[in-house]
Amino acid sequence: MADASIRTSEKDQDSCPVCQDLLKNPVTCKCGQSFCSACIHSLKQYSPKGSHSCPQCGEAFAPKPVPRRFIKVERMKKVELSSSNHPSDPSYAGPGDVGCDECTGRKHKAVKSCLMCLASFCESHLIPHTTVTYLKRHKLIEASPDLQENNCSQHDKLNEFYCRTDQKCICASCVLNEHKGHDTVEAETERMAKQTEIAEKQREVQQRIKDKQKELDELKRSLDTLKCSAQAALEDNDKIFTQLIHTIEKTRSEVAELIRAQEKMEYSRVVRLHEQLEQKIAELHRRDTELQKLLNTDNNVYFLKHFQFLSSLSASVNSPIVTVSQHIKPDLVRKSLSDLKMELQKFGKDCKFSVEISF
């Protein structure tokens, strides 16, 4: 009859009653109920010493029961193949995640860690801790990668107390031995006291964050104001220098016109003087010819007759020395440009000093 029950279970049962998942490496108890080997192992591990019973029906077994193995090769292959075909399944533990200590093969993410069992469990393997009475009393915390630090290194017991004298977490054996007579309290009590201090510290930090954020906002506004001010100054600078360049160009053009006008006037005067000098030279050549003719004559009467006329040549041909200005008022132009250059240099220094002071 039991064999029939087992065969029926083998045929119809597909999931483990403990983890509610497909059977993995299943084993069958004497009552015919099948479980994952990991699930039934965890139940036996955490059951009271000497007590063995089926988690489903509660049927008790003799000490050290030997479950009959129930293997479904094809189903196991499908389960393993399904797991391998979904490497990105978020339910499996990845780098930085805490893996379930009860999972065989690829591990699922642990959702809780037990301080009594010193093990971490996924959602499926955590079910015994929520359904089995004596497992419900265990202390569960968020999944932690290093549970051993919660145990006393000397007595290998859970550090449930805190020694205020030595400022360290200790176990119950430490309270009765090494820390006997010390100011000790439960770890949870000390945590509540420290938590109040931490909350106050957190409020102080949050207030400092607000103050610093206010300073940062003010600094940002100052930077925005500085940026706007600099932009306005650049626009004014471009406007002023554009006008200044226009004025300089206009002045340059006017001075050039004055220079050309003076050049034209002086040129006309020099041309007139040139013509006059050419006429004087021609007159002197004519007189030179007459004097030579007079010197060459043999006629004394002719010579004496024309001597009086030709001797007055020096008084008539001599003329005042003609001077021509070769430069167009260089001193005035150079002085004006020099004054303008000095004013621009002074303006540049004043602007630079003003900008340095402002910034």
- Residues 265-279: pLDDT tens digits? 988 989 999 999 999
155-162: which pairs have CB atoms within 8 A and are 24 or more residues apart? 158/115, 158/116, 159/187, 160/186, 160/187, 161/185, 161/186, 161/187, 162/186, 162/187, 162/189, 162/190, 162/191
For the segment 229-256, the average pLDDT, to the nearest whole number, is: 88
Return d(Cα 252, Cα 162) in angstroms, integer: 93
Residue 58 lies in a domain: yes
Write the CATH number for 75.
3.30.40.10
pLDDT of residue 221: 94
pLDDT classification of 342: cutoffs 50, 70, 90: confident
Residue 270 lies in a domain: no
Q: What is the DSSP letter of 309?
A: H
pLDDT > 90 fraction of the chain, expressed in percent and rounded: 14
Q: How many C-beta neighbours within 10 Å does residue 354 have? A: 11
Return d(Cα 35, Cα 69) in angstroms, integer: 10
- Going by C-beta distance under 8 Å and a sequence separation of 6 or more, which residues neighbour residue 195? none
pLDDT classification of 206: cutoffs 50, 70, 90: very high
Complete edge-to-edge strand list for the sheet that includes strand 26-28: 34-36, 26-28, 68-69
Higher-confidence residue: 329 or 212? 212
Return d(Cα 50, Cα 43) in angstroms, integer: 12
Q: What is the DSSP letter of 91?
A: T
Q: For residue 309, with 0-12 CB atoms within 10 Å meaning exposed, 13-18 middle and 19 or more buried, which class applies?
A: exposed
Residue 70 lies in a domain: yes
For the segment 275-290, the average pLDDT, to the nearest whole number, is: 89
Return d(Cα 41, Cα 342) in angstroms, integer: 100
pLDDT of residue 219: 94
For the segment 328-348, the average pLDDT, to the nearest whole number, is: 71
Please identify, among 53, 85, 117, the residue that sits at the C-terminal boundary of a domain. 85
Total count of residues recorded for the chain? 359
Q: What is the DSSP letter of 132?
A: S
Greatest mean pLDDT among 23-27, 103-107, 209-213, 231-235 lies in: 209-213
Tally of domains within the chain: 2
Residue 355 lies in a domain: yes
Give the structural domain span for 1. 1-85
Asked whether the predicted pLDDT for residue 319 surpasses 90, the reply is: no
Return d(Cα 182, Cα 154) in angstroms, integer: 18
Return d(Cα 281, Cα 322) in angstroms, integer: 14
Residue 42 lies in a domain: yes
Strands, DSSP E only, in the chain?
26-28, 34-36, 68-69, 112-114, 119-121, 140-142, 161-163, 168-170, 184-186
Write the pLDDT tens digit of every residue in 115-129: 878 888 998 888 888
Look at residues 21, 23, 26, 31 and name the one whose alpha carbon lies nearest to residue 55: 31
Please give the biggest Cα pair distance in the chain: 191
- Asked if 37 and 78 count as a contact pair (C-beta separation under 8 A), the reply is no
Write the pLDDT tens digit of every residue in 141-171: 888 787 777 788 888 788 889 998 988 888 8
Look at residues 130, 113, 119, 123 and name the one whose alpha carbon lies nearest to residue 91: 123
Please identify, among 85, 103, 126, the residue that sits at the C-terminal boundary of a domain. 85
Residue 35 lies in a domain: yes
Please identify, among 50, 85, 120, the residue that sits at the C-terminal boundary of a domain. 85
Read off the pTM. 0.39
Asked whether the predicted pLDDT for residue 246 surpasses 80, the reply is: yes
Residue 201 lies in a domain: no
- Asked if 19 and 102 count as a contact pair (C-beta separation under 8 A), the reply is no
- Going by C-beta distance under 8 Å and a sequence separation of 6 or more, which residues neighbour residue 325? 266
Q: How many C-beta neighbours within 10 Å does residue 333 have? A: 14
Q: What is the DSSP letter of 92?
A: B
pLDDT of residue 65: 46
